[in-house]
């Protein structure tokens, strides 16, 4: 015979489980559902596509600014050349209740040298990213949204190469997927493509460069 305490246990089980579940166990929140946009604001009424998302289901240590910078170094990016920043910040509205917020950090391809390689990127061009964190009061998922693009060299004023958004996204994810490490931390990264978040084409896109409308979702686990 089943005892009363057993029924009491069954009754509180869903409640206990909901307490044990992370606050928002989702990869990310779609910014467009709460007044945000999958294009950032480049300051000229146009924007760069947020074409890579690091899932909030990644290891929590990857989802901080310093944790992300270490991960970025593992996949070929670093802080800007000697801390010298080229160009103004861009802002994004991730629909998380924070409204438009400036990029947290801007990183460049480091050509295999985390200290000086980004100086080379500044000269010869290469891959480039801006980071935005979805951490506002409405949808505090912790997901990282990246605007990734491949740039021309300095003589071309750091414009984006033709097809540079899709190329930048694919280069970053190709470097990221699989096993990588930096600074004694090893990462295992999986990726999937999402369509329907970003419209394909060049409407509203800075430099009038069309994209295929794909956002790549990366989930990064520290192993």
Ligand X SMILES: *[C@@H]1O[C@H](CO)[C@@H](O)[C@H](O)[C@H]1NC(C)=O
Q: Write out the residues near ligand X by the rule CB under 6 A.
A: 89, 91, 100-102, 170, 173, 191-193, 214, 216
As measured in angstroms, the least distance from the Cβ of 96 to ligand X is 14
Measured from each CB, the residue nearest to ligand X is: 191
Cβ-based nearer residue to ligand X, 106 or 170: 170
Cβ-based nearer residue to ligand X, 115 or 195: 195
The SS3 call for residue 93 is strand
Identify the bridge partners of residue 49 per DSSP, sorted by sequence position: 39
As measured in angstroms, the least distance from the Cβ of 40 to ligand X is 11
Neighbours of 24 (CB within 10 A): 16
Q: Which of 168, 222, 163, 219 is nearest to 192 (CA)?
A: 219
Q: Which of 80, 214, 68 is nearest to 151 (CA)?
A: 80
Cβ-based nearer residue to ligand X, 69 or 170: 170
As measured in angstroms, the least distance from the Cβ of 52 to ligand X is 10
As measured in angstroms, the least distance from the Cβ of 85 to ligand X is 11
Give the torsion sign (CA, 162, 166, 167, 169): positive
**Interstrand relation of 52-54 and 215-222 (parallel, antiparallel or unpaired):** parallel
Cβ-based nearer residue to ligand X, 100 or 182: 100
């Amino acid at each position: 015979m089943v005892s009363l305490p057993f029924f009491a246990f069954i009754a509180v089980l869903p409640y206990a489980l909901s307490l044990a579940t992370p606050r928002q166990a989702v990869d990310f929140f779609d910014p467009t559902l709460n007044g945000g946009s999958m294009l950032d604001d480049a300051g000229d009424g146009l924007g760069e596509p947020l074409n890579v998302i690091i899932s909030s289901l990644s290891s929590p240590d990857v989802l901080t600014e310093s944790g992300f910078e270490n991960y970025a170094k593992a996949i070929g990016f670093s802080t800007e050349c000697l801390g010298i920043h080229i160009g103004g910040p861009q802002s994004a509205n991730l629909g998380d209740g924070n409204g438009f917020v400036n990029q947290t950090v801007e990183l460049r391809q480091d050509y295999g040298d985390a200290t000086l390689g980004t100086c080379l990127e500044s000269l010869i061009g290469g891959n480039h990213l801006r980071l935005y964190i979805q951490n506002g009061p409405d949808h505090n998922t912790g997901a990282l949204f990246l605007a990734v693009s491949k740039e021309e060299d300095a003589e071309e004023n750091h414009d984006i190469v033709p097809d540079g958004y899709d190329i930048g996204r694919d280069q970053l994810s190709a470097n990221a997927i699989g096993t990588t490490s930096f600074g004694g931390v090893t990462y295992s990264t999986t990726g999937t493509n999402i369509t329907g978040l970003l419209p394909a084409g060049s409407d509203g896109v800075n430099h009038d460069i069309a994209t295929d409308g794909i956002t790549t979702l990366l989930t990064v686990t520290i192993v």
